[in-house]
Chain A
Amino acid sequence: MTPRTARFRCLALALLFGLLATEALAAQALNLGIFAYRPTQVLESRFQPLADYLGAQLGVEVRLHILTQEQMNEALARNQLDLFFTNPSHFLMIRSERSLGGAIATLIRRGPTANTSSLGGVILVRGGDSRYDSLSDLRNATIAVPGPYFLGGFQTQLFEFREIGIDLQRTARLRVLGSHDRVVRAVLEGDVNAGFVRTGIIEQLVEEGRLQRDDVRVLHPQELGEFPFVVSTRLYPEWPFVALPHVDQKLVRRLASSLFALAEDHPAARAGDIAGFAPPADYQSVELLARSLRVPPYDRVPAVTWLDVLQQYRYWIFAVVLLISLLALTAIWLWRQRKRLVREQRRLSAMVETWPEPMLIIRRGLFVEANSAALQLLGYHRRESLAVQGLAGVSPPFQPDGEPSLEKSRALLQAVMDQGVQACEWRCLRNDASELYVDLTLARIGQHDDGEPAILCALHDITRRKRAEAQQRLAASVFSHAREGIFITDVEGRVIDINDAYQVITGYNRNQSIGSLVELPDEGVSVLMYARTHGRWVGEFRSRRQDGEAYIKALTITAVRDDRQRLTHFVGIFSDITRLREQENRLTRMAHYDALTGLPNRVLLADRMQQAMAQARRQGYRLAVAYIDLDKFKPVNDAFGHEAGDELLVTLAGRMRTALREQDTVARLGGDEFVALLVDIPDRALGETLLQRLLTVIGEPVWVAGHSVQVSASIGVALYPGRQELDGDQLLREADQAMYHAKQLGRNRYWITASDQGGDAWSP
């Protein structure tokens, strides 16, 4: 539509409505609108007689208005029509907009052979055009149509195409020409490939002489026997005659009866080419058509409600909802499982973490988790540094049994996998390289199908126990291997245990010893009492072995107390010191006695002199030191040899010893020099007797080396106390000088210190 024609139409509409408005005011006039499906003058000439007939029947003027669909819509919108008569599609449009009721009658159209209240669509091509034979040939054709709201001129054809799967509105070029006559003209003139018109148009045009039947060819003709028109589509009800609600109901009834009463041969009917009116048809089929074509008023997809969807797809929806629910349930279940798992894992971790015993988790041979206790035990500060280690990583290269830690740990982990829980002792190496002994317990955690298996590794520090054990072993070794005899008794001194050395020393075996009272010096009880009180008793005593041999035992008894200081045991350690004692005695003798004669030597002499001098001062008696030197001993030695000399000396020593009293001492100073210490000499007489006795025994012949030998002695005597206070050495020196004096006097005599010659030197 060009702008000019549009403007013209607006003007025409305005004029028309002005006219209608004035006419509506006129009393009792009914305005009948008829859809201008053909040129206005044609329709006016056809329907004016009908309007006149109705006016005559009703007694009111019926004004005829031939209107295009737009005009009719406009007029209805302004409520300027009382009655209208249009095609079913347009009726549905109006009805949907105004909520009208049904029609009051349906047209019966006159046909050349029969009358019908059905209409359909015709698909035309030019008579000489042989390009088109079936509907599908028109798929991409240019097609003239009267307008979109024409039932027989558009929608019926569209539906037939749709039934064979062609959407003409998309594939073909549709040219809207406004009326059927223009469509036929366009087809005849070749402007278009085809045209759509309603049934009856061709027959009318032929009748009116405007068309030769052969000028057009009808596609897709239907064989419908009695139906009087050529038709290409299925049929639908004819036009409805509609009264608007505001029209008086009595008038409507009279109108309806007038319409039904219209006889086929009535001039009004003849003029209108109609055969009368039938009771209103069911226009549902037209509605369905419009719906399926989605043309107005059903051009919008009805708002699909949830209920519709539910109705249509309930099984699918049910299935989908079920699936989703199942999925959701599964997801929730999984989520909860996961949560529980996480919680359990956390709890496990917390448990492991807070457990005071060291715990580690091994996965693929490495520690993946460790609790604080484990870190502390192994001396690590950071979990991460422990995490890269395996069991072998925290162990010294070798285990106590000599096996390499690496191999042993691998075998151990494999054993856990194969056989379950494993426990053993293990030597570890702390981060600071110190050694550590642990009780290792390994257990698999999780099921076999859990994927990566984990091993829980619990450590228990047994280093102290190990050390104690080592000490005990050491002690046991000492106990069993010591050379000292060791015994353990109960508090009463009954033997509980002994070692091997005990048996060796005493000669008593275990059976004989255990259970018997331990052998102690004197009163055993007092010894034990002493040990109990002082913690220890040390002593030596003589004892006898089982075979009766005497020996000297050096014993230490120690009281053993428990944690509460209660006496529980005595431990005794002893050794046989017999030989030690002998050695000691021998050395003592060697230090104080002359080896040849067995007489005290100079050291012992000095000692005895000191004692005797002290006693003499205390008790007030007199002692004499006699220095004895053999005369002419050297010739004997020279003549008979040293051994003979020695023999002589030994014999003389014995004689001197026996010549004196018990309390006197004879000592050898060396060579042929002797000293006699004479104590407690109350008077001169005794002194001189003893000296004389010495001279006598020395002077007697001695048989040595097969010869009788005779020697004499010179004796110098010093007395104590004398006039001067002298010490031992001085006294001995005085005696020595006196001896020389005697020698000078002619040997074989004694000489008493000069100072003592006069007076009574022997008197104290």
Chain B
Amino acid sequence: MDRRSFLEIMIATGLLGAGLPGCSSSQPLRMGLHPWIGYESLYLAEEFGWLPQRVRLLHGASATDSLQGLADGQLDAAALTLDEMLRARNGGLPLVAALIMDVSAGADVLMVHPAISRLPELAGKRIAVEPSALGELMLQRALERAGLAASDIQRVDLPVNRHLEAWQQGAIDASVCYEPVASLLAAAGGERLFDSRQLPDTIFDVLAVNAERGANRSQDVTELILAHFRGLDHLVRNPHDALYRVASRQQVSVAVVRRSLAGIMLPDLAANHRYLAGDSRIERAASQMIGLASDSDTSDAKVGEFYSARWLPRRLP
């Protein structure tokens, strides 16, 4: 019996449910994090020791790790895209967006072979797409723009971290991806044909908090958010230092980091208050995600209270 099925049995028998709340507050708040330019604020905060004592960052390779951690109870929070979070919610996890970490403004890209110079030329081409709502969204919008139907192209479902490999093997003609893969593909000769700049206020990266765990850990969540803003401040105010650090961690050049940063918007605290206090943009984005999701289990999802400003600090120190 592996740990996950053991936990499921425990939950089913109600033992864990009875035992967890009691001990939860004595443990640190565990947050899953994976490399993404929008999450660099927290990496910087960790590097400079700005994280609160009672918060642990658990580094994963991709969002999948974070989702897995949330599902089996190893994590109390994670940095996820909005669509990932919504899907997990529909899977039964009581996740709530506590913070908008970044909004994609060009960081999500359709990279194409240099031979393809216009969107309509995508017809009949092999396009690698990550099986996620975000990938679906990007692809659908690109096809709309191209005037093509989904059946007009050859869709290749592939996790984004394998796109470069597939590209180099000539297995695909185009890739729906994001930084830093996009820059890597560009370095491999790919060209940007379409990106999230054409989808403003659609692709959000959020701090998803397990509402049940976060309910009695409000202070920790808020302090985590404060650490994010401190790291963000360093990133924005002192790029002379921060870019080197980000580049060093992501193992890319400073120039790539600079370009990646250009592809996202990093909302400050005030903007976050606007988003999470009932801004229609995030609701609209969520409904688009749900409408596009190919999975049957997300199509009937209710938007509900999937975001909350209750953990946001009122002001920065």
Chain A interface (Cβ < 8 Å from any Cβ of B): 117-118, 120, 163, 223-227, 234-238, 281-282, 284-285, 288
Taking CB atoms and an 8 Å cut-off, the chain B residues in 23-65 that contact chain A are: 48-49
Q: Interface of chain A, helix or strand or loop or mixed?
A: loop
Name which residue of chain A comes closest to B50, CB basis.
Answer: A163
**Residue from the list A163, A226, A284, A285 in contact with B241, Cβ < 8 A:** A285
Question: Which residues from A are CB-within-8-Å of B247?
Answer: 225-226
B98 to chain A, nearest CB (A): 24
Name which residue of chain B comes closest to A289, CB basis.
Answer: B238
Whether B240 contacts A226 by the Cβ 8 Å rule is no
Top 7 closest pairs, chain A to chain B, by CB: A225-B248, A235-B241, A285-B238, A118-B240, A224-B244, A234-B241, A227-B244
Whether A118 contacts B237 by the Cβ 8 Å rule is no
Question: Which residues from B are CB-within-8-Å of A118?
Answer: 240-241, 244
Whether B240 contacts A281 by the Cβ 8 Å rule is yes
Name which residue of chain B comes closest to A282, CB basis.
Answer: B237
Bound complex: CA A391 to CA B49 (Å): 84
Q: How many residues of B are in contact with the other chain, CB < 8 A?
A: 14
**16 intermolecular pairs with C-beta atoms under 8 Å apart:** A118-B244, A224-B245, A224-B248, A225-B247, A225-B248, A226-B244, A234-B238, A235-B244, A236-B238, A236-B240, A236-B241, A237-B240, A281-B240, A285-B237, A285-B238, A288-B237
B254 close to chain A: CB less than 8 A: yes
A4 to chain B, nearest CB (A): 42
Q: Interface of chain B, helix or strand or loop or mixed?
A: helix
A569 to chain B, nearest CB (A): 103
Whether B241 contacts A225 by the Cβ 8 Å rule is no
Q: A225-B251, A226-B253, A226-B254 are in contact. Are A284 and B244 (CB under 8 A)?
A: no
Count, A-B residue pairs, CB within 8 A = 43
B246 to chain A, nearest CB (A): 9
Residue-wise, chain B 248-284 has the 8 Å CB interface mask toward A (1 for contact) of: 1001011000000000000000000000000000000
Question: Which residues from A are CB-within-8-Å of B245?
Answer: 224
Question: Which residues from A are CB-within-8-Å of B248?
Answer: 223-227
Question: Which residues from A are CB-within-8-Å of B237?
Answer: 282, 284-285, 288
Name which residue of chain A comes closest to B240, CB basis.
Answer: A118
A103 to chain B, nearest CB (A): 14
Bound complex: CA A706 to CA B241 (Å): 188
Bound complex: CA A163 to CA B240 (Å): 19
Bound complex: CA A639 to CA B48 (Å): 180
Question: Which residues from B are CB-within-8-Å of A288?
Answer: 237
**Residue from the list A224, A225, A227, A235 in contact with B238, Cβ < 8 A:** A235
Question: Which residues from A are CB-within-8-Å of B251?
Answer: 225
Name which residue of chain A comes closest to B315, CB basis.
Answer: A311
Bound complex: CA A284 to CA B245 (Å): 19
Bound complex: CA A406 to CA B146 (Å): 119
A314 to chain B, nearest CB (A): 11
Given contacts A223-B248, A225-B247, 15 further A-B contacts (CB under 8 A): A118-B241, A163-B49, A225-B244, A225-B251, A226-B244, A226-B247, A226-B254, A227-B248, A236-B240, A236-B241, A237-B240, A281-B240, A285-B237, A285-B240, A288-B237
Taking CB atoms and an 8 Å cut-off, the chain B residues in 216-262 that contact chain A are: 237-241, 244-245, 247-248, 251, 253-254
Question: Which residues from A are CB-within-8-Å of B48?
Answer: 163, 234
A132 to chain B, nearest CB (A): 21
Question: Which residues from B are CB-within-8-Å of A120?
Answer: 241
Taking CB atoms and an 8 Å cut-off, the chain B residues in 48-96 that contact chain A are: 48-49
Question: Which residues from B are CB-within-8-Å of A117?
Answer: 240
Bound complex: CA A237 to CA B243 (Å): 12
Question: Which residues from B are CB-within-8-Å of A282?
Answer: 237, 239
A307 to chain B, nearest CB (A): 16
Bound complex: CA A238 to CA B239 (Å): 12
A87 to chain B, nearest CB (A): 14
Question: Which residues from A are CB-within-8-Å of B238?
Answer: 234-236, 285
B256 to chain A, nearest CB (A): 10
Bound complex: CA A236 to CA B237 (Å): 10
Bound complex: CA A693 to CA B181 (Å): 203
Bound complex: CA A163 to CA B253 (Å): 28
B252 to chain A, nearest CB (A): 9
Question: Which residues from B are CB-within-8-Å of A285?
Answer: 237-238, 240-241
Question: Which residues from B are CB-within-8-Å of A237?
Answer: 240
A317 to chain B, nearest CB (A): 16
A226 to chain B, nearest CB (A): 5
Bound complex: CA A226 to CA B250 (Å): 11
Question: Which residues from B are CB-within-8-Å of A225?
Answer: 244, 247-248, 251
Bound complex: CA A282 to CA B239 (Å): 9
Bound complex: CA A281 to CA B241 (Å): 12
Bound complex: CA A281 to CA B253 (Å): 19
Question: Which residues from B are CB-within-8-Å of A227?
Answer: 244, 248
Bound complex: CA A163 to CA B239 (Å): 19
Bound complex: CA A238 to CA B244 (Å): 14
Name which residue of chain A comes closest to B246, CB basis.
Answer: A225
